[in-house]
A and B are shown apart, each in its own frame.
Chain A
Amino acid sequence: MRALMSFFLVVMFSGQLCATTKTGDYSAAEDAFRQGQFSQASKIYLEAIQEGHSNASIFYNLGTSLYKNGEMGAAVAAHLRARSLRPDDPDIRYNLRFLQEKAKDKLDMNRPERSWEKLSAAHWMGQRSLFWSMIIPLVLAFWSVAWTLLTGRRPALLWSLGIVLFLVSVYPGLSLVDALWRSPDWGAVVSNELDVLASPTVKNSVVIFQLHEGAPFMVVNQSGDWFKIQLSDGKTGWAKGEGLAIFGKTYFSYQSPKTDSSSL
C-alpha cells in the first residue's frame, strides 16, 4: 500500500519536479528584461515554450517582453495563449485589455458562445484544475461506495454521498471537455496591415477584409503556410502565416523580426 501511495505521489508531482530545472533560465530571462534586452528575454521564453513548457506565466512574460520589443501583435497572441491556460489570472486579463486598447482594430477577444457555454468552468479554471476537480470527487465517490459495500455500514448515507460526489465531478468534467475540444487556438496580426483572402492563394483570390496589428482571431484551419482565421463576429478568411503570430496548442506560427531593438 505504501508503495502504491509513493507511486501516485511521484506521478502527480513529477511534472513539477521536471519544471523546476528551468528556473535558472527564467532568472536569466528576468535579468535580460530588467536590463532592457527584451529580445533576449523573449528568446529564452520561446525556447522554453518550444521545449514543451506550458505555463501561463511563461506566455505572459513572453507577451510582456514582445510588447516591450515593439511586437504588439505577437504580444497579444502570447497573452491570449496565457489566458487560455490560466483564465482567472488578473494580470493576464489586465494586460490583454491594455493591448486591446492599443490595437487599431477593436475586436472582441472572446469566442461567441451559447448561453449554456457561458456557464463553463473553463472561464475561470485552467485545464489541470478542471481535471483534478473532476478526478478527486469521482475517486471519493468510488471510495464511498466501496466502503459501504465492504463493511455494510450506513449504506443509505454512503450511497447518497457517492452519488452526490459523482454529480459534483460531472461539472468540471464537462467544462474540461469544452476546454480541450471546443476552445480554439488564438492568434493576432503582426503586420501593420493584413489582407484576409477568400482562399489560401494570392493568385485570383479576393480580399474579404483587412486587419491591422494586434487584431485577435481564432485559428480554424491550416493549409501549408496559410491559416484560416475567424474573428469573434464570425467573419472567416485565409491569411499568410508571415503576417500572424499564433502560440496555440495545435497551431504555432511566429517569426521574430530581423531588426533587434533593445527598448520600446
Chain B
Amino acid sequence: MAKIGKLMKLLMVLLFWMGASHASAGSLTGELDKAEGTVEDQFVYTLAVQGSADGEPKFPDIPDIQIQKAGTSQSVSIINGKMSREVQYQFVLTASKEGTYTIPAIAMTIDDKAQQTLPIEFKVKPAGSGTGSLKERPLFIERSLSKQKVYVGESLVSSIRVFSRVRILAAEPDFRYPDGMQVKKIDGEKSYSKVLDGQEFAVNQFDAILVPNKEGKFEVPGAALGVRYIDQSKPRRSAGSLLDDLWGQGNTAEKRITSPSLTVEVLPLPLTGRRADFSGLVGEFTGRAEVSSRSVKAGETVTVNVVIEGRGATGGMAEPEFDLGDKAKVYKDKPQSQDSYDAAQGVLGQRTFKVAVVPTQSGELDIGTLKIQYFNTASGHYQDLTVDVGKIQVMANGAVKSAPPVTPADAQSFAPPPAAPNPGVKALADDLLEPHSPDRLAKQDELQTADLMGGAGLLFCSLILTGFSGWKSYLRLQGGRRDVRKKADRALKLAQGQMKDARRLLESQDVKSAVGQAQKIIRQYVGDRFGIKSGGLTLRDLEQQLAQQGLSTDTISDMRRVWQDLDQLLFAEASADQNRSREVLQKVDKLLQEVEERCAH
C-alpha cells in the first residue's frame, strides 16, 4: 500500500509538472488601446511575446497609417519554480485621414512554434469629432483654401492655422501640397490670438500661393504637425518640482495633429477666343509703360519698363515682343516678378519687363502699343490688355540740341537729318578675318618645358661662370697679398745679401757704385717691406712711408742722415774716403735692422 501511495504521489507530481510546462508554452498577443478615435489621436498597439521569440517582431505596413515604435518592456516571472519571460513591444499608430483600418495578424516563431495575433479593426473619425468641446482640444490644426474651383493658371491661397492653448516646446510640420500645382510659400508666418467657444487660442498661420498648371480634381492633403508640448492636465508626480520652474506645471507630451484633407477643382481654360500669343496670365490685370527718355541720339540707350500688375500670379507670363525691325536694337533684361498675398484682395501680382532700346536710325521711333491677352476670371473670357509705350524722337548722332516737344502736326512734318557717322567708331567689316596660314601655326606661343629648361640651363651656366670668376678673382687677390707678405718677410734678407755686394764693390775701390748700390738697397727694402713700388722713391717719399708705417722720428732722422751721408759720398768731387764709406754702409745695415725691429713690434 505504501508503494502504491508513493507511486500516486509521483504521478501527481508528474502531472503537475506537465501541467506547469504546458502552461508556460509560448504565446503571442496583440492589443490596441482603443477601438475608435480621431485623426488627431494616437493609437497604442501592444504586442506581448511570452517565451523565446525568434527575432524582433515586424509591424505590417497599413496605408494612411504612420507607425512609430514606441518602446519595449520586459518582465520575468517565476511561478512554481518555472521561469517565464514576457516582452512587450509598443507601437504608436497615427492615421492621416479618417476611415476604418485593420491591423493584420502579426506572425512570429515562439519556442519553435509558429504563433500569430488576431487582426484588430479600429475606426478613425475626422479631427474634432471625437470631443464636442474645444475645452478638451487644447491643440488643433485646420487648413482652408481661398477657392474651391479655379481655372488652370489662376492662383488660390492655402492657409494653414495652428490653434494652441498649450506651451509648445517643439513642432515638426508636415505641410504637403498636391502635385500639379506650383507652390509659392509666403514668407513669414502670421501670429495672432482668437477666441473660440470662449477659449482663447494662440494662432499661427502659414499661407502659400498655389497655381494649378493642369486641370482636374485635386485632393489637398491635410496639414499635419508633430508637437511636443506641456500638458497641464497631467501634473508632475512631485508638486513644486524643479522642472515646474523651467517649463511650467505639467508633463511633457507629444502629439501629432492633422487637419482634414480638402478638394479643389481645376477647370481648363476655354479654347474659344484664345490666341497663339496668349500671355498665360489668369486673373484681372492692368499694365503701364515707363520710358526713360523720349528724345535721344541714335546709338544711345532708352530704357523701357513694362509693368503688368493685378489680381493673380504673374510668374508664368510670357515676355511681350517688341518688333522694331532695323530701326532699333532691343535687349531684354530678366523679368522681375513679385507676387504677394492680401487678405482682402487675394493674390496680387506684379511683373516688370525691362528692355533696353537702342535706336539705330534718326527720326521718329514708334515703339507702339503692346497688346497682351489674358484670361479674366471675373468675366470668364479672354481680354486684351493694352500698354501704350509711345514714340521716341531720335536725333542723328552728333546733334546736341535738345528735341522740341513733338505735336501731332510736327510729327507729320518731322524730317530727320541725315545720320552723321561717329568719327570715334570705325565701321567693322561683315565677316571675320581670314584664318592664318599653316606655317604660322607651328610655333608654340605658350611657355614650354624646353624654354624653361633652356632658360634655367643658361642661368645655371651663367651662375657657375660668375662663381668661377669670383673664385679666381678672390684667389688672385689673396695671391697678391701673399706675395707682398712674402716679400716683406724676405726684405731684410734680400737687403743684407745685396749689402754684401755693395761691400765687395767697396773693397774693389769702386766707392761710388757701392754707395749707389746702398741707396738702391734702402729703396728696395722700403718698397718690399711696405708693399710699394720702390723704383722712383726719393728721400721725402721714404720719410713719408716710414712716418705712415708709424716709425719713430728718431728712426726717420737716422734714415735721413744715412741717406744724406750716402749722397755726400756719391756726389763728392774727390774720391771718397773708403773708411768713411765703410762706416756709412755699416750705418745702412744698422738702419735696416732698426726698421725691421720696429716693424716687427
Residues of A within 8 A of B469 (CB): 145-150
Q: Is the CB of B446 within 8 A of A127?
A: yes
**Can you list 5 A-B contacts (CB < 8 A)?**
A22-B442, A26-B438, A30-B438, A65-B435, A139-B458
Question: Does A6 sit at the interface, judged by CB under 8 A?
Answer: no
Question: Does A120 sit at the interface, judged by CB under 8 A?
Answer: no
Q: Is the CB of A98 within 8 A of B428?
A: yes
Q: Shortest Cβ distance from B439 into chain A, in angstroms?
A: 7
Residues of A within 8 A of B473 (CB): 149-150, 152
Residues of B within 8 A of A57 (CB): 436, 440-441
Closest to A180 in B: B447
Q: Is the CB of B461 within 8 A of A4?
A: yes
Q: Is the CB of A210 within 8 A of B444?
A: no
Q: Is the CB of A64 within 8 A of B432?
A: yes
CA A6 – CA B246 in complex, angstroms? 89
Q: Is the CB of A135 within 8 A of B459?
A: yes
Q: Is the CB of A20 within 8 A of B459?
A: no
Q: Is the CB of B450 within 8 A of A14?
A: yes
Given A101-B428, A149-B472, A210-B334, A20-B446 contact (CB < 8 Å): no
Q: Is the CB of A11 within 8 A of B453?
A: yes
Q: Shortest Cβ distance from B467 into chain A, in angstroms?
A: 8
CA A180 – CA B429 in complex, angstroms? 34
CA A75 – CA B441 in complex, angstroms? 18
Q: Is the CB of B440 within 8 A of A149?
A: no
Given A8-B457, A95-B433, A55-B445 contact (CB < 8 Å): yes
A-B contact count (CB 8 A): 148
Residues of A within 8 A of B441 (CB): 22-23, 26, 48, 53, 55, 57-58, 61
Interface size, chain A (Cβ < 8 Å):
65
Residues of B within 8 A of A97 (CB): 428
Q: Mark A143-158, 1 if CB is under 8 A from B, else 0.
A: 1011111101000000
Given A143-B465, A149-B472, A54-B451 contact (CB < 8 Å): no
Question: Does B462 sit at the interface, judged by CB under 8 A?
Answer: yes
Q: Is the CB of A135 within 8 A of B436?
A: no
Question: Does A126 sit at the interface, judged by CB under 8 A?
Answer: yes
Residues of A within 8 A of B450 (CB): 11-12, 14-15
B435: which of A30, A142, A209 is its contact (CB, 8 Å)? A30
CA A63 – CA B445 in complex, angstroms? 17
Q: Is the CB of B451 within 8 A of A131?
A: yes
Q: Is the CB of B454 within 8 A of A20?
A: no
Given A7-B457, A12-B454, A207-B334 contact (CB < 8 Å): yes
A20-B442, A128-B448, A142-B463 given; name 6 further pairs at CB < 8 Å.
A8-B454, A12-B451, A56-B445, A64-B432, A128-B444, A149-B472
Closest to B431 in A: A98
Q: Mark A1-35, 1 if CB is under 8 A from B, else 0.
A: 00010011001101110011011001101100100
Residues of B within 8 A of A101 (CB): 428
CA A152 – CA B476 in complex, angstroms? 10
B436: which of A7, A19, A60 is its contact (CB, 8 Å)? A60
Q: Is the CB of A143 within 8 A of B462?
A: yes
CA A48 – CA B436 in complex, angstroms? 15
Q: Is the CB of A33 within 8 A of B435?
A: yes
Most buried by A among B428, B443, B452, B463: B443
Residues of A within 8 A of B438 (CB): 23, 26-27, 29-30
Residues of B within 8 A of A27 (CB): 438
B22-38 residues at the A interface, CB under 8 angstroms? none
Residues of B within 8 A of A68 (CB): 432
Q: Is the CB of B446 within 8 A of A139?
A: no
Question: Does A85 sit at the interface, judged by CB under 8 A?
Answer: yes
Q: Is the CB of A60 within 8 A of B435?
A: yes
Q: Is the CB of A132 within 8 A of B463?
A: no
Q: Is the CB of B466 within 8 A of A142?
A: yes
Given A135-B458, A139-B459, A152-B476, A15-B444 contact (CB < 8 Å): yes
Q: Is the CB of A16 within 8 A of B462?
A: no
Residues of B within 8 A of A142 (CB): 459, 462-463, 465-466
Residues of A within 8 A of B466 (CB): 142-143, 145-146, 149
Residues of A within 8 A of B99 (CB): none
Question: Does B345 sit at the interface, judged by CB under 8 A?
Answer: no
Q: Is the CB of A146 within 8 A of B453?
A: no
Residues of B within 8 A of A146 (CB): 462, 465-466, 468-470
Residues of A within 8 A of B472 (CB): 149-150
Closest to A162 in B: B466
Closest to B456 in A: A135
Q: Is the CB of B334 within 8 A of A209?
A: yes
Q: Is the CB of A127 within 8 A of B459?
A: no
Q: Mark B326-345, 1 if CB is under 8 A from A, else 0.
A: 00000101100000000000
Q: Mark A90-114, 1 if CB is under 8 A from B, else 0.
A: 0100110111010011000000000
Residues of B within 8 A of A240 (CB): none
CA A192 – CA B428 in complex, angstroms? 24
Q: Shortest Cβ distance from B186 into chain A, in angstroms?
A: 17
Question: Does B437 sit at the interface, judged by CB under 8 A?
Answer: yes
A235-256 residues at the B interface, CB under 8 angstroms? 249
Residues of A within 8 A of B431 (CB): 98
B259-278 residues at the A interface, CB under 8 angstroms? none
Residues of B within 8 A of A219 (CB): none
Question: Does B226 sit at the interface, judged by CB under 8 A?
Answer: no
CA A61 – CA B446 in complex, angstroms? 17
Question: Does A138 sit at the interface, judged by CB under 8 A?
Answer: yes
Q: Shortest Cβ distance from A162 into chain B, in angstroms?
A: 9
Residues of B within 8 A of A105 (CB): 331
Which 8 A/B pairs are nearest by Cβ-Cβ distance?
A54-B446, A142-B462, A26-B438, A149-B469, A57-B436, A146-B469, A85-B445, A150-B469
Q: Is the CB of B331 within 8 A of A53?
A: no
Q: Shortest Cβ distance from A174 into chain B, in angstroms?
A: 15
Residues of A within 8 A of B468 (CB): 146, 150
Q: Shortest Cβ distance from B3 into chain A, in angstroms?
A: 90
Q: Is the CB of A128 within 8 A of B446?
A: yes
Question: Does B497 sit at the interface, judged by CB under 8 A?
Answer: no
Question: Does A227 sit at the interface, judged by CB under 8 A?
Answer: no
Residues of A within 8 A of B437 (CB): 30
Question: Does B455 sit at the interface, judged by CB under 8 A?
Answer: yes
A178-202 residues at the B interface, CB under 8 angstroms? 180
CA A202 – CA B437 in complex, angstroms? 44
Q: Is the CB of B458 within 8 A of A53?
A: no
Q: Shortest Cβ distance from B321 into chain A, in angstroms?
A: 15
Closest to B448 in A: A15
CA A227 – CA B448 in complex, angstroms? 27
Residues of B within 8 A of A104 (CB): 331
CA A15 – CA B452 in complex, angstroms? 11
Q: Shortest Cβ distance from B406 into chain A, in angstroms?
A: 29
Given A146-B465, A150-B472, A11-B433 contact (CB < 8 Å): no
Question: Does A228 sit at the interface, judged by CB under 8 A?
Answer: no
CA A82 – CA B458 in complex, angstroms? 29
Q: Shortest Cβ distance from A124 into chain B, in angstroms?
A: 13
CA A131 – CA B445 in complex, angstroms? 11
B433: which of A16, A65, A91 is its contact (CB, 8 Å)? A91
CA A138 – CA B455 in complex, angstroms? 10
A16: which of B333, B429, B443, B458 is its contact (CB, 8 Å)? B443
CA A11 – CA B455 in complex, angstroms? 9
Closest to A179 in B: B447
Question: Does A217 sit at the interface, judged by CB under 8 A?
Answer: no
CA A178 – CA B419 in complex, angstroms? 44
Q: Is the CB of B442 within 8 A of A55?
A: yes
Q: Shortest Cβ distance from A73 into chain B, in angstroms?
A: 14
CA A127 – CA B443 in complex, angstroms? 13
CA A126 – CA B470 in complex, angstroms? 35
Q: Is the CB of A16 within 8 A of B459?
A: no
